[in-house]
């Protein structure tokens, strides 16, 4: 199995990636602007900074002993985990945050000691061309990082057998990938999406909730896997929240033409599809509203990830109504709860599983690597970022090291005598 054996090779490669990003920052910004119409500020905020933070984490924390973690120690024994590279890893990139969602998993794969192949998303002509060139300069012989040149998953998996596949994208595409894999040979991490609720209870700070909602839905025109998909709000405070939301949007539109921004950022095919379905329900929809009030759970937008700069609003009379709404949707990747009452928080986090929970804030799970990130069931398999990436891209084995004499060995071994049985029963009573 090919792998990066040498600790210094890993550190050198991670340092070179960091230098590469800083040295070619302007080219990266221009390429992403050409492909996705993204503002440079947003690229730096949401793409470049998270990658640099991940690099800094591993450059600081990775050491020669990272392959072994001790869990407990005594003069008689030690217990711990061994981390071995998986081997050949495939990382399938996506288009909405291509720099971050390429390099954050790549950094973890390198730190774990794998040989990594990158499969770019076909939408990104300029970015893909630039990255192919820079990676070739980084690793001229393609010994550690390789670029997949195939045009379909059939070709990709016919060309090479992978030990591990990391994919970011839609649930439907993850099913297609699984068709080509032998589960006994290739493990996976799927970072997908889902219906992420934005719950607002009576005790919530509505000004803050409106501010956080706007941030999440305006960022990259709502094309973020953890952006809120629907608002679940107490009917008594819904008008007050809408008022705060309008004030927030009005304040922003004095500086930014939101509709024009969305027209630039949303791919035309998706924009036309959204407009078609929206205008079939209401006479006119303005993206600058950001919300569509509808308690009809048959609305198709309640059954799919929106990935767009608006969300549905469901007004409830009782918190118990949430169960039906939750159960008819794909599992949430993220769950937002705005409330001042701990009992409301406890109700949601204990009753409704999600990949990640954020209380009185949005998007922050994506901005740091102190915690792992991942989904649940249809919203994802596996978690990464920070130390979780090292675990994800490694085979984890348990290790017990016994030292000296095992005083209990005679008691455990044949022959089983009546005296031993009495001692065993005494031990059993002690455990009680």
Residues identified as active-site: 191, 225
CA 205 – CA 82 distance, rounded (Å)? 46
31 neighbors 126 (Cβ within 8 angstroms): yes
Q: 3-class DSSP state for residue 313?
A: strand
CA 38 – CA 30 distance, rounded (Å)? 9
Q: What does each C-alpha distance from 271 to 120, 124, 301, 405 come to in angstroms?
A: 23, 18, 14, 71
Burial pattern 107-145, b for ≥16 Cβ within 10 A else e, equals bbbbbbbbbbbbbbbeebebbbebbeebbeebeeeeebb
232 neighbors 200 (Cβ within 8 angstroms): yes
Task: Give the bridge partners for 234, in sequence order.
Answer: 316
- With 0-12 / 13-18 / 19 or more C-beta atoms within 10 angstroms meaning exposed / middle / buried, residue 12 is exposed
227 neighbors 358 (Cβ within 8 angstroms): no
CA 358 – CA 228 distance, rounded (Å)? 11
Tell me the two tokens of residue 258. Answer: 């939101």
CA 301 – CA 304 distance, rounded (Å)? 6
CA 95 – CA 76 distance, rounded (Å)? 53
CB atoms within 10 A of CB 45: 13
Residue bearing tokens 């005083």: 407
CA 408 – CA 429 distance, rounded (Å)? 17
């Amino acid at each position: 199995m090919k792998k990066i054996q040498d600790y210094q090779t890993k550190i050198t490669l991670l340092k070179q990636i960091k230098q590469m990003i800083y040295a070619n920052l302007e080219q990266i910004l221009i390429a992403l602007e050409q492909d996705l119409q993204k503002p440079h500020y947003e690229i730096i905020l949401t793409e470049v900074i998270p990658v640099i933070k991940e690099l800094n984490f591993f450059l600081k924390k990775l050491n020669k002993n990272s392959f072994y973690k001790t869990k407990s120690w005594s003069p008689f024994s030690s217990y711990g985990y061994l981390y071995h590279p998986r081997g050949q890893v495939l990382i399938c990139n996506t288009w909405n945050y291509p720099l971050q969602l390429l390099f954050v998993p790549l950094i973890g794969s390198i730190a774990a000691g794998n040989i990594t192949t990158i499969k770019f998303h076909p939408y990104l002509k300029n970015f893909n061309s630039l990255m192919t060139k820079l990676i070739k300069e980084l690793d001229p012989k393609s010994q550690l990082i390789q670029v997949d040149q195939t045009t379909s998953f059939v070709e990709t998996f016919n060309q090479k057998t992978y030990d591990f596949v990391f994919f970011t994208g839609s649930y439907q595409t993850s099913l297609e990938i699984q068709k080509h894999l032998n589960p006994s040979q290739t493990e996976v991490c799927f970072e997908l999406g889902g219906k992420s609720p934005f719950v607002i209870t009576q005790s919530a700070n509505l000004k803050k909730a409106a501010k956080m909602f706007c941030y999440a839905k305006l960022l990259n025109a709502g094309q973020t896997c953890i952006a809120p998909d629907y608002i679940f709000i107490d009917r008594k405070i819904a008008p007050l929240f809408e008022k705060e939301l309008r004030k927030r949007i009005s304040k922003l539109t004095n500086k930014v033409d939101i509709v024009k921004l969305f027209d630039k950022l949303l791919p035309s095919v998706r924009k036309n599809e959204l407009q078609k379905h929206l205008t079939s329900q209401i006479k006119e929809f303005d993206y600058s509203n950001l919300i569509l009030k509808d308690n009809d759970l048959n609305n198709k937008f309640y059954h799919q990830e929106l990935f767009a700069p608006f969300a549905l609003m469901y007004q409830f009379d009782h918190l118990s109504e949430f169960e039906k709404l939750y159960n008819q949707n794909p599992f949430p990747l993220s769950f937002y709860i705005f409330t001042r009452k701990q009992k409301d928080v406890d109700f949601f986090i204990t009753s409704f599983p999600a990949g990640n929970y954020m209380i009185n804030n949005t998007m922050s799970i994506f901005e740091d690597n102190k915690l792992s990130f991942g989904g649940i069931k249809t919203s994802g398999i596996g978690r990464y970022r920070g130390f979780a990436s090292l675990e994800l891209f490694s085979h984890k084995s348990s290790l017990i090291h016994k030292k000296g004499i095992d005083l209990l060995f005679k008691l455990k071994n044949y022959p089983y005598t009546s005296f031993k049985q009495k001692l065993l029963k005494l031990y059993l009573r002690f455990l009680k």
